Amino acid sequence: MNRIRATLGVSTAMVLALVSAPALAEETADAGSEVIVVTAQKREQTLVDVPQSISVVSGDTLETHQANSFSDYLKLVPGLQLTQSTPGQGRLVLRGLNTGGVASTVGVYLDEMPFGSSSGLANGAILAGDFDTFDIARIEVLRGPQGTIYGASSLSGVVKYVTNVPQTDALEIRGRAGVEAVDGGDTSYFGNAVVNVPISDVLAFRASGSYRKDGGFIDSIGTAGSDVEKNINGVENYGGRASLLFTPNETVTVRLSAILQNINSDAPSVVEADPTTLKPLYGGLTLSQFVQPTSKVKYRLYNGAANFDLGFANLTSSTSYSTQEQSFHDDLTVNLSGLIEAIFGTPNELFLDQTTRVEKFTQELRLASNESETFEWLVGGYYTHEDGSIDQAYVAVTPGTLDEITTLPLLAQVNLASKYEEIAAFANATIHLGEQFDVDLGGRYSHNSQKARQVGDGALAGGPQEFGVKSSEDVFTYSIAPKFKFDDRMSLYARLAKGFRPGGPNVLPPAAPPGTPGTYDSDSVLSYEAGFKAQTDDNRFSIDLAAFYLDWKDIQLFAVVNGFGVNTNAGKAKSQGLEFTATMRPTDGLDVSVNGAYTKTRLKDDADPIVGGRDGDRLPYVPTYSIGANADYSWSLSDTTTAYLGGSLRFLSDQSGAFDGTYREATGHQRIIPSYTVIDLRAGVDFGKFSVDAYVKNLGNSHGITSTAALTANGFNVYPNGAMGTGIIRPRTIGLSLTAEY
């Protein structure tokens, strides 16, 4: 890897805030000029021609920053937040749209493949695809509703991974290995490799593999009879990608891809904290473990994409099949073991055994016109079929073991099976009203139908049960975006856009009282955005600035109606703010970028009491201010050797924790998560065929909080002594990596 090119990657991605680019888009950069062709709206456009706010982080930048997952590259994208306590289980938040709930507000794509559940019945919101970033071309973040082009569950935006395309011109072999030490924890290590093989002039194959073992840093110290064990939250992350590219002639391109990844966690990165101050209890980072709370997540994705140049237009077909499976043990000993012993007289430890599966098939077909000075258009159709299931069982075991107690009656065993089917048609057009003024128009019609069936039994599940429900819905979304282009490097735009999350059925028994909602509707966001993009002729300075106002209606929330937990529509919220990314290149070799977001969110109505939000409350996990600053300096040591030094800073102001009605009733406000700052440092030397990198993440050992859990469930404490579980960022980590290539 060329270290100078990596530095340019930071400048290009971070400062110019590049627009979404697909796997086959062209991108060239050198020290004197930058020509970027992108397809944010699924057709080729230059940077200043796309009238919406988008950030892109290049693959070189990801490697330079040792950014392997969501939590590592948040500092590079203004306005993107992550609520997470366990790797593989994360909720993405863009522009502040978050009230909890089980359906996602941010769409996740890998190349042409939409990933994750579109329904509200398979926990899609907390299972965003956290893919390994080795050998990724770039990560693209499209802000604001993307309902026109990307459809359902892109209410507040889309995060898109773009993988590297196989190349027919050269053999490439590259590997990377490294080791890390985390403060107060076990040693971590990792290895990555990629090979690109030109099979012929028209056929190429590319494959990569990754393995990572992150050492744990949280201890279980025997509180209230829990286990005594150090560093319980280790994580193993491994997988690979393979891709075959076939280009028989200049008019046809076919690409086949497969992605497999496993994320196995020994325990969540959660510590017990004082519920008022949120400071860790017991003098360190501890979590009371009675039954090991493991988590295993599996991703499997397969895609066939083909592009045909028909002369008058380009035809693109994308066929995808994916599966996502999450299985975990949730330690419920403190919460329910006492109740089980009181009822049945049997000492026990207890855990919830849950498996969530999503099987998804998608087909998209679209036709895009050639470039025109007057009128450009795109039309397409989309179909998806999704099967989801959630299997739950409460399992009592002999204390200190994992041996199930067979003398107890069945406690609870429940299966929820669901189907989601959607068909959509969409169109987008750009009208050029002269050389400087354009208007972009888009629309999408979607129809979805859903089914769900629940089967259960057990003492805690209310005995035998079986029932099913159905729903269907039609939704229209649109976008309007005028743009004034001063020249090839400066533009001003406005954008009005609508996005939505699908509604669906509530799984209710036939005997549910009248008035209990059997279905819930889609919620929607209407976005008003204005932005400015500019870059100087010498590439020494650039800026991307956007202001927005989001009106969120019919918010999907979880509530209790007539004693039943259901999804329902309730109330409104707003989010407004400002985002920017700016870069300075004051001298050759030095790249400085700053990004930031101001986001003001508020509920406009009271939520259901079980939700705990009130009119005027801030939405959860949205800092009012967030700032990211990055600087990298590279210089030549010889004709073949370069060196670099770099650093990053991320600051998040205080933010509201999860809605808590009891806490708000007592204090008059929601629980506040304190502000925190994270500083990273990096340095390295590139010798041409190999390079050495050293880095420190979280230099100041900040204990930033990423989530807050409920204090009680089922009327009982979740953790000993009334503690609150809080997700935290990884402590100070020092690492060293070696990269070699052929």
Give the pair of three-digit tokens for residue 722.
Answer: 């009334």
- Over 121-189, what HEC string results? CCCHHHCCCCCCCCCEEEEEEEECCCCCCCCCCCCCEEEEEEECCCCCCCCEEEEEEEEEEECCCCEEE
Give the closest residue to 561 by CA, choosing from 552, 571, 569.
569
In which residue are the tokens 């359902």 written?
152
Q: Which residues fall within 8 angstroms of residue 511, CB to CB, at 6 or more apart?
A: none
DSSP 403-471: -B-TTSPP-EEEEEEEEEEEEEEEEEEEEE-SSSEEEEEEEEEEEEEEEEEEEEESGGGTSSEEEEEEE
CA distance 668 to 665: 6
pTM, to two decimals: 0.92
Do residues 455 and 413 lie in contact, with contact meaning Cβ atoms separated by under 8 Å? no
Give the closest residue to 220 by CA, choosing from 282, 275, 276, 265.
282
Give the pair of three-digit tokens for residue 191.
Answer: 């290895």
- Quick one: how far is CA 586 from the chain centroid? 34
Q: What are phi and psi of 124, to 5 degrees?
A: -60, -30
CA distance 79 to 577: 9
- CATH dotted code for 3-741: 2.40.170.20
Q: In the prediction, which pLDDT does 474 show?
A: 94
Q: In the prediction, which pLDDT does 2 show?
A: 36
CA distance 129 to 260: 12
Over residues 95-150, the pLDDT tens digits come to: 999 887 778 899 999 999 999 998 888 988 888 889 999 999 988 899 989 989 99
Going from the first residue of the chain to its last (742 residues), give the mean pLDDT of each consecutive group of 10, the final group possibly shorter.
31 31 33 49 72 88 89 87 88 90 87 90 88 91 91 89 94 97 97 97 97 97 96 97 97 97 96 95 95 96 97 96 96 96 95 96 96 93 96 96 94 95 96 93 96 92 88 95 92 96 87 84 94 90 94 87 80 95 92 95 88 91 95 95 96 94 92 96 95 97 93 91 95 97 90
Q: In the prediction, which pLDDT does 18 show?
A: 30
Over residues 436-452, the pLDDT tens digits come to: 999 999 999 999 999 99
CA distance 425 to 443: 8
Q: Which residues fall within 8 angstroms of residue 654, CB to CB, at 6 or more apart?
A: 623, 624, 672, 673, 674, 675
Q: Which amino acid is at 368?
A: A
In the chain the first and final C-alpha atoms are separated, in Å, by 10
Q: In the prediction, which pLDDT does 610 show?
A: 79
The dihedral built from the CA positions of residue 578, 579, 585 and 591, taken in this order, carries a sign that is: positive
